[in-house]
């Protein structure tokens, strides 16, 4: 009894608390233990990355409260040397990094107990969860760091960082007009599309897929990560089905003009991919968009880059001739707006509107 009492006194003096994961997560968007050093013992490893791992409360110790997550992200900054299914004890500081509750920092320590356990059942994402209504505590927050499974359509193609947007709702979500929830009084409120989430195919060393797109679906068993305002599935395994829904621009009617707008992702001399960007963008404008009358471009370096792109377009289709216009940006970075306007359009004026408004 004396030994236990002394240990308890030391334990209290160090300010550490032995907690269950669901206590660390709490019922809100952030942990109630931010900045505190805690211990959480006897949890099962559900996923392992190059410098992190995920743990989850064994089913028999869960509080079974849908508002508190049973999963937790542990950032190590080195190979943790663990495997899925191991039981581990973890000690460290609770942090909220880019809105993700985690244990990390210089005080981090962890050890495998030498035992294993079955993985807790995955939470299924479907057309009822997550919901489509905005709330102060997001539905995805309830399963942050936990095992999930889903079959979800791709609703936006892969971005440059290889993550693609998914939604398990019945319809493809769009951004409604308004200020992001909770909004501003007297103005329309956008719900933030709470049913939208993302997948990073190779986050756990699965095969990468940089070409997920509309028309496809993804089925996966994963753990749920958060980065600022987005929730990202890190799949332990995944499969895709369906075909990419390619669409060319229809031909213009005699009384129509065609206008395109897209981001060319830093089309500038400093780009490491300039020799790929020029021909790819030119082919897209000529072959897929059928040479719109007006093409608005974002992130163009300078007029030289724009003229080089125009030259590449004219090589592909000598009958397609554009005049070039560049609108200098408001800072020193070479990220400017630009326009290609068909030579057949006369009396063109390009000017920036509302440039001083915030």
Does a structural domain hold residue 319?
yes
- Tell me, what's the pLDDT at 11? 42
Both 106 and 127 in a single domain? no
On whether both 322 and 307 belong to a single domain, the answer is yes
Residue 243 pLDDT: 92
Listed residue (169, 155, 166) closest to 127, CA to CA = 169
pLDDT of residue 331: 74
Q: Is the pLDDT of residue 198 over 50?
A: yes
Residue-wise DSSP of 45-106: EEEE-SSEEEEE--GGG----TTS--EEEEE-SS-----TTEEEEEEEEEEEETTEEEEEEE
Domain end marker among 52, 83, 116 = 116
Q: What is the CATH number of the domain that holds 128?
A: 2.40.50
Q: Would the pLDDT of 4 be above 50?
A: no
| CA distances, 278 to each of 18, 78, 271, 273, 337 (Å) | 57, 39, 11, 9, 16
Q: Do residues 63 and 83 both lie within one domain?
A: yes
Range of the domain at 289: 259-342
Predicted local confidence at residue 248, as pLDDT: 72
pLDDT higher at 98 or 7: 98
| Residue 157 pLDDT exceeds 80 | yes
pLDDT recorded at residue 56: 98
Kindly report the CATH number assigned to the domain that includes residue 96.
2.40.50.140
Residue 317 has a pLDDT of 97
What is the bridge-based pairing of β-strands 189-190 and 179-180?
A: parallel
Residue 229 lies in a domain: yes
Mean pLDDT calculated for residue range 284-289: 93
Q: What angle do CA 209, 212, 213 make, to 5 degrees?
A: 165
Same domain, 128 and 237: yes
Residue 49 has pLDDT above 70, yes or no: yes
Phi/psi at 9 (5° precision) = -65, -45
Residue-wise pLDDT for 159-184, tens only, equals: 877 899 999 987 888 888 999 999 99
Range 137-153 average pLDDT: 96
Q: Are residue 237 and residue 132 in the same domain, yes or no?
A: yes
Residue 162 lies in a domain: yes
Based on the fold, state whether residues 194 and 87 are members of the same structural domain: no
Last residue of a domain, one of 82, 116, 150: 116
> Which phi and psi (to 5°) does residue 264 adopt?
-95, 10
User: In this structure, is residue 209 part of a structural domain?
Assistant: yes
Phi, psi values for residue 59, rounded to 5°: -55, -40
Q: What local confidence, expressed as pLDDT, does residue 330 receive? A: 76
Domain count, the chain: 3
353 lies in some domain: no
- Average pLDDT value over all residues in the chain: 91
Whether residue 250 is contained in a domain is answered as no
Q: For residue 12, what pLDDT band results from cuts at 50, 70 and 90?
A: very low
Q: Say if residue 30 is in the same domain as residue 106.
A: yes
CATH code of the domain containing 310: 3.30.110
Cα 123 to Cα 129: distance, rounded to the nearest angstrom:
9
Q: What is the pLDDT of residue 237?
A: 98
Predicted pLDDT of residue 16: 67
pLDDT (tens digit per residue) in 211-266: 899 999 999 999 999 998 899 999 999 999 999 877 777 788 999 999 999 999 99
Residue 64: left if φ>0, alpha if ψ -120 to 50, beta else—which one?
left
Look at residue 358 and tell me if it is in a domain.
no
- Examine the domain organization and report whether 47 and 150 are in the same domain: no
Q: Which of 215, 242, 269 is the last residue in one of the domains?
A: 242
17 or 149: which leads in pLDDT:
149
pLDDT digits (tens, 9 = 90+) for 301-338: 999 999 999 999 999 999 999 999 999 887 777 889 99
- Per-residue pLDDT band at 2 (split at 50, 70, 90): very low
158 and 199 fall within a common domain: yes
């Amino acid at each position: 009894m004396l030994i236990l009492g002394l240990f308890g006194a030391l334990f209290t003096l160090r300010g550490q608390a032995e907690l269950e994961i669901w206590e660390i997560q709490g019922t809100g968007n952030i942990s109630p233990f931010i900045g505190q050093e805690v211990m959480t013992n006897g949890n099962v490893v559900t996923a392992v990355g190059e410098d992190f791992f995920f743990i989850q409360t064994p089913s028999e110790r869960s509080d079974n409260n849908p508002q508190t997550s049973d999963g937790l992200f542990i950032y190590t900054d080195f190979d943790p040397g663990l495997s899925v299914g191991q039981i581990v004890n973890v000690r460290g500081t609770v942090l909220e990094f880019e809105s993700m509750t985690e244990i990390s920092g210089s005080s981090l320590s962890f050890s495998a107990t030498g035992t294993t356990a079955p993985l807790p059942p995955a939470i299924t994402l479907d057309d009822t969860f997550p919901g489509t209504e905005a709330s102060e505590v997001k539905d995805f927050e309830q399963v942050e760091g936990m095992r999930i499974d889903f079959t979800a359509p791709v609703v936006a193609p892969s971005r440059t960082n290889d993550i693609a947007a998914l939604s398990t709702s019945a319809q493809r979500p769009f951004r409604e007009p308004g200020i992001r929830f909770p909004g501003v009084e007297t103005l329309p409120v956008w719900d933030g599309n709470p049913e939208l989430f993302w997948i990073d195919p190779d986050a756990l060393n699965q095969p990468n897929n940089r070409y997920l797109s509309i028309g496809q679906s993804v089925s996966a068993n994963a753990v749920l990560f958060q980065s600022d305002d987005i929730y990202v599935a890190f799949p332990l395994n995944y499969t895709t089905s369906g075909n990419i829904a390619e669409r060319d621009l229809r031909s213009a009617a005699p009384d129509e003009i065609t206008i395109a707008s897209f981001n060319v992702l830093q089309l500038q001399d400093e780009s490491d991919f300039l020799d790929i960007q020029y021909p790819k963008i030119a082919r897209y404008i000529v072959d897929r968009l059928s040479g719109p009358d007006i093409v608005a471009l974002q992130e163009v370096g300078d007029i030289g880059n724009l003229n080089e792109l125009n030259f590449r377009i004219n090589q592909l289709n000598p009958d397609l001739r554009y005049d070039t216009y560049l609108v200098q940006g408001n800072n020193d970075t070479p990220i400017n707006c630009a326009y290609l306007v068909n030579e057949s359009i006369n009396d063109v004026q390009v000017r920036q509107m509302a440039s001083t408004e915030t």
